[in-house]
Amino acid sequence: MFGQESYSRFYQAGPVAKLLTAKMTLDNSEIDLAEGGSEIGYQFGFFFRANVENVYVQPSVLLSKIKTQLVFLNYDNVPNFNPRADFEFNTLELPVDIGYRIGNLRLQMGPSFSILLSGHRSFLNEIEKVSDSYNRTSMMWHFGLGGDFDRVMIDINYEFGLSKTGESLGRLLGREFIPKQRQWVISVGLNFLNDY
């Protein structure tokens, strides 16, 4: 019919696992980031991708666990008193990829919404639950590239935004500041939906 256009559409879905590492930098002599300033964590869950021609949208639902350690130098003005703070956060991650496909390669970007499920901080021999006192939701932004190889997909993303560890640091130091953070996320997924 006149005016009717046909678009190539197909769908993909399946499990996905992610490994992430983050590094914070800040101008503060009270914290030793060299020894413990990196976050390490993992995520696992499911993705769904809707493809229309070379454009796609991919939402995911992921459970995430993040751990990090920081060393506070000369804490409370006590020389050579360098206590360590341990953080652990469990979150529900809802990233959304909006991308463009070039053959088997993909370029993508989008927001990632994080919902705090539980978390605790261990500092000075005290373990404190932080679920009720911290921001329940936060948002990061990511961009990166990926590739599809038969049923396997591999992605590398760069994310930026204020993490839960950054929020913890502000509370421990008793003043507001925003640490600079870069976060790399490597993910591997399997397409179980054969809809080409």
1 falls in which pLDDT band (50, 70, 90)?
Answer: very low
CA atoms within 13 A on the CB side of 141: 1
CATH 1.10.10.10 for the 9-190 domain, yes or no: no
> Which ranges constitute the DSSP H helices of 79-173?
164-173
Distance CA 132, CA 148 (A): 40
Q: Check residue 196 and give its pLDDT.
A: 57
Among 154, 160, 145, 88, smallest CA distance to 122 is for: 88
Indicate the domain borders of the chain.
9-190
Task: Give the pLDDT mean for 123-131.
Answer: 78
pTM recorded for the entire structure: 0.79
- 172's enclosing H/E stretch is helix 164-173
Among 65, 39, 42, 178, smallest CA distance to 119 is for: 65
